[in-house]
């Protein structure tokens, strides 16, 4: 096993490519090495009495390697990646990359199984680290005719004598056999030259005034989500949380919130029929695909693609918790850099789950006509103050909606005509900065009010209507009115 160096001098064409991609994210050679598009060699035509030479066995091996690589690539399009990786973090802090153990499959199908206790050192010096960071890649020369020959322009393998091996049939007759060892190395580059097959392992950053650290926003292509454990680091260098742990933590947050909400819903008759129904819909939205997601997240053998697809399946039901109930579009799975899309999906799910407030539930007034806001007043709300949040339009203001509410009539629909004739405004709405009981604080530019419980103006199972009584405040009409019902 050869020791590693920084990337050797490349052809002029490669130098141009490097300058263009130096600031881009790390790329494996999969972008220009498509196993399924490479032409397969034809099989050897074996026949009795043929004079055998090393060529026959070499070509036969290449044929079967090609067959296997083609089948694996067809069955599993994202077949390349890191299977296991261990690095010396103490050495990394000093600017030296020292690989202790790695098992990986390169984009051309080559399986690498390296152990520093057995093989030659696999190291590289980082040198100067740019502000954007640098990428450490595992590289091996491409396969060309004669790639095991020292006379070849591109030597992929070198020959090394193995330890003595016995005849498996007789148990004796020891022989020393030469073995072909791939010339793997480490290179510092976002993308290796066309003379190599490269697999990104990790990116390294060095903040100004800080020490060397792994890039928390990059994860290499993985054979399984359990292979990401190396990024967590150790006592020498604490790294980011691995993908699998992030997924397990998310599943725990969802399950915990669903169980808490189930406890509220179990005795939620006092909150009213509509709120109770909404709580049960929210619980279903959170747990509909939770068990399947937990199954994927709990297994270290799950593939990153399976985890991402499981996250996306959760997004649909979870969007029930979003204001518009419509999920955003998500990026396709990108095997070479799957972390950004994973984070986008996880952050969306977490944000929607965090919308579920266990202290209160929010309902919206309907606005069927401009400036006329209605909501069914539940029987369970009788004798209780209502906390409403008034949201101005894009051109409106907090002071404007305060004036609008102060000149509005608040009462059951069947009482409005009589109150209008008597020039009464109905129930009283007091402006408040926050509601201490439910810890409700209005959003910026919104106004919070407490409507005093008054059976004279608000009847159960009747439409509660809020409408302005003065044309002077029509321009201050709110965009929406929300009612926050506290969970007692």
Beta bridge partners of 181: 158
Torsion, CA 310, CA 286, CA 364, CA 276, rounded to 10 = 160
Q: Per mean pLDDT, which range of 117-126, 406-415, 452-461 is the poorest? A: 452-461
CA distance linking residue 368 with residue 362, whole number of Å: 19
Which phi and psi angles does 236 have, rounded to 5°? -75, -40
Enter the tokens of residue 220. Answer: 């290499």
Dihedral sign for Cα atoms in the order 404, 410, 413, 419: negative
pLDDT band at 439 (very low <50, low <70, confident <90, very high): confident
Whether pLDDT at 119 is above 80: yes
pLDDT in tens, 151-164: 888 988 888 888 88
Q: How high is the pLDDT of residue 130?
A: 81
Q: How high is the pLDDT of residue 54?
A: 87
pLDDT band at 265 (very low <50, low <70, confident <90, very high): low
How far apart, in Å, are the Cα atoms of 295 and each of 65, 251, 282, 283, 316?
Answer: 34, 10, 21, 19, 18
DSSP-derived letter for residue 271 is G
User: Per-residue pLDDT averaged across 227-248, rounded?
Assistant: 90
CA distance linking residue 51 with residue 38, whole number of Å: 30
Q: How high is the pLDDT of residue 4?
A: 45
How far apart, in Å, are the Cα atoms of 392 and each of 324, 446, 449, 450?
Answer: 18, 7, 14, 17
pLDDT band at 10 (very low <50, low <70, confident <90, very high): very low
The pTM for the full model equals: 0.74
Q: How high is the pLDDT of residue 263?
A: 73
Whether pLDDT at 345 is above 90: yes
Q: How high is the pLDDT of residue 202?
A: 95
Whether pLDDT at 318 is above 90: yes
User: Per-residue pLDDT averaged across 277-283, rounded?
Assistant: 83
Q: How high is the pLDDT of residue 16?
A: 33
CA distance linking residue 261 with residue 470, whole number of Å: 42
Residue owning tokens 């919206």: 364
Q: How high is the pLDDT of residue 360?
A: 77
Whether pLDDT at 21 is above 60: no
Q: How high is the pLDDT of residue 488?
A: 66
Query: Which of 4-8, 304-308, 319-323, 383-387 is predicted most confidently?
Result: 304-308
Query: pLDDT higher for 147 or 80?
Result: 80
* Mean residue pLDDT across the chain: 86
pLDDT in tens, 281-299: 889 999 999 999 999 999 9
Q: How high is the pLDDT of residue 11?
A: 35
Q: Percent of the chain, pLDDT > 70?
A: 90
Q: How high is the pLDDT of residue 356?
A: 84
pLDDT band at 56 (very low <50, low <70, confident <90, very high): confident
Q: How high is the pLDDT of residue 277?
A: 75
User: Per-residue pLDDT averaged across 350-356, rounded?
Assistant: 90
User: Per-residue pLDDT averaged across 443-468, rounded?
Assistant: 90
Query: pLDDT higher for 12 or 255?
Result: 255
**E strands in 287-442:** 360-364, 366-369, 372-377, 386-391, 408-412, 429-432
Give the CA radius of gyration of the chain: 33
Beta bridge partners of 135: 203
pLDDT band at 180 (very low <50, low <70, confident <90, very high): confident
Helix extents (H) in 319-408: 339-354, 398-406
Q: How high is the pLDDT of residue 271?
A: 47
Q: Percent of the chain, pLDDT > 90?
A: 47
Query: pLDDT higher for 380 or 219?
Result: 219
Q: Per mean pLDDT, which range of 253-257, 285-289, 349-353, 435-439 is the poorest? A: 435-439
pLDDT in tens, 363-374: 889 987 888 999
User: Per-residue pLDDT averaged across 165-189, rounded?
Assistant: 89
């Amino acid at each position: 096993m050869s020791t590693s160096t920084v990337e050797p001098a490349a052809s002029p064409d490669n130098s141009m490519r490097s300058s263009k991609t130096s600031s881009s994210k790390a790329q494996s050679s999969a972008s220009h090495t498509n196993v399924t598009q490479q032409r397969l060699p034809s099989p050897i035509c074996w026949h009795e009495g043929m004079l055998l030479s090393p060529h026959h066995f070499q070509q036969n091996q290449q044929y079967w390697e090609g067959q296997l690589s083609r089948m694996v690539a067809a069955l599993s399009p994202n077949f390349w990646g890191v299977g296991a990786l261990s690095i010396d973090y103490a050495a990394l802090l000093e600017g030296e990359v020292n690989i202790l153990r790695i098992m990986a499959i390169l984009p051309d199908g080559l399986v690498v199984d390296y152990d520093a206790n057995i093989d030659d050192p696999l190291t590289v010096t980082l040198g100067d680290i740019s502000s954007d960071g640098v990428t450490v890649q595992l590289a091996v020369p491409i396969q060309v005719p004669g790639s095991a020959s020292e006379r070849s322009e591109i030597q992929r393998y070198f020959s090394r004598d193995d330890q003595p091996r016995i005849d498996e049939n007789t148990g004796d007759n020891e022989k020393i056999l030469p073995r072909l060892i791939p010339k793997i190395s480490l290179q510092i580059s976002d993308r290796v030259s066309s003379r190599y097959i490269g697999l990104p392992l990790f990116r390294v950053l060095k903040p100004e005034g800080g020490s060397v650290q792994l890039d928390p926003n990059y994860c290499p292509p993985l054979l399984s989500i359990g292979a990401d454990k190396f990024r967590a680091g150790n006592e020498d260098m604490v790294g980011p949380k691995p993908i699998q742990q992030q997924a397990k933590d998310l599943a725990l947050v969802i399950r915990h919130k669903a169980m808490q909400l189930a406890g509220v819903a179990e005795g939620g008759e006092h909150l009213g029929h509509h709120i109770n129904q909404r709580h049960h819909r929210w619980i279903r939205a959170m747990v509909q695909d939770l068990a399947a997601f937990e199954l994927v997240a709990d297994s270290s053998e799950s593939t990153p693609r399976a985890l991402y697809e499981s996250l996306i399946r959760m997004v649909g039901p979870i969007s029930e918790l979003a204001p518009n109930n419509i999920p955003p579009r998500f990026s396709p799975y990108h095997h070479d850099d799957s972390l950004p899309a994973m984070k986008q999906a996880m952050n969306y799910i977490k944000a929607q789950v965090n919308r579920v407030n266990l202290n209160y539930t929010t309902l919206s007034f309907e606005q069927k006509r401009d400036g006329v806001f209605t909501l069914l007043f539940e029987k369970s709300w009788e004798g209780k103050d209502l906390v409403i949040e008034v949201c101005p339009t894009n051109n409106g203001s907090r002071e404007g909606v305060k004036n609008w509410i102060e000149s509005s009539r608040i009462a059951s629909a069947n009482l409005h005509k009589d109150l209008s004739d008597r020039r009464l405004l109905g129930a009283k709405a007091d402006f408040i900065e926050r509601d201490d009981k439910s810890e409700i604080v209005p959003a910026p530019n919104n106004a919070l009010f407490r409507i005093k419980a008054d059976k004279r103006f608000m009847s159960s199972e009747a439409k509660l209507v809020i409408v302005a009584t003065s044309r002077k405040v029509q321009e201050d009409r709110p965009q929406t009115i929300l009612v926050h019902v506290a969970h007692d």
